[in-house]
Amino acid sequence: MKFLKLVIILTVLTGTNKLKGQDQPVDLDKNFTHVVYFYLNNPDNPGERAAFESSLKKFLDNSLYAKTKFIGIPAETPRDVVDNSYTYSLILSFPSKEIQDKYQEEPAHLVFIEESSHLWKKVQVYDSVGIY
């Protein structure tokens, strides 16, 4: 019986990563990061959140250029230096600025903007090149 419980627990734990789309870890490419904060018009509307998430996931699944792909929500960490006012964050990394420039014009990215831009009131972007 203990063996069966262990098998079930291990199955659940190993399956958890797959449910979150984290089959294999992907290292952050330190050459160029693209960090985007989305502020939805109606962040408490479940239908709009679902539509946004669906479009964003489809976009990332079809992006030819984005390497690291992270979608997040505010961690609700109550510190003066933390801004939890956004609805979603997106962190992408690229091997170079030139590849990131191609990403900006790729069809998957443009379709995402067309599909979802009516859902947000503000988008804030922080691009960085690595120095270390």
SS3 content of the chain, % helix, strand, coil (to 5): 45, 25, 35
pTM of the model: 0.78
Cβ distance 68 to 29 under 8 Å?
yes
pLDDT, one tens digit for every residue, the chain (132 residues) = 443 333 333 333 344 444 344 455 557 778 899 999 999 999 999 999 999 999 999 999 999 998 889 999 999 998 999 999 999 999 999 999 999 999 999 999 999 999 999 999 999 999 999 988
**Domain 29-129 maps to which CATH number in 3.40.50.150, 3.40.50.12160, 3.40.50.620, 3.30.70.100?**
3.30.70.100
Question: Which has the closest alpha carbon to 57: 5, 100, 112, 103?
Answer: 112
Cα–chain-centroid distance for residue 1?
40
Q: Where are the domains of the chain?
A: 29-129
Cβ distance 40 to 87 under 8 Å?
yes
Q: What is the pLDDT of residue 116?
A: 98
Measured over the CA atoms of residue 54, residue 59, residue 62 and residue 66, the dihedral's sign is: negative
CA gyration radius, the chain:
18
Token duo for residue 127: 């691009």
Cα–chain-centroid distance for residue 18?
16
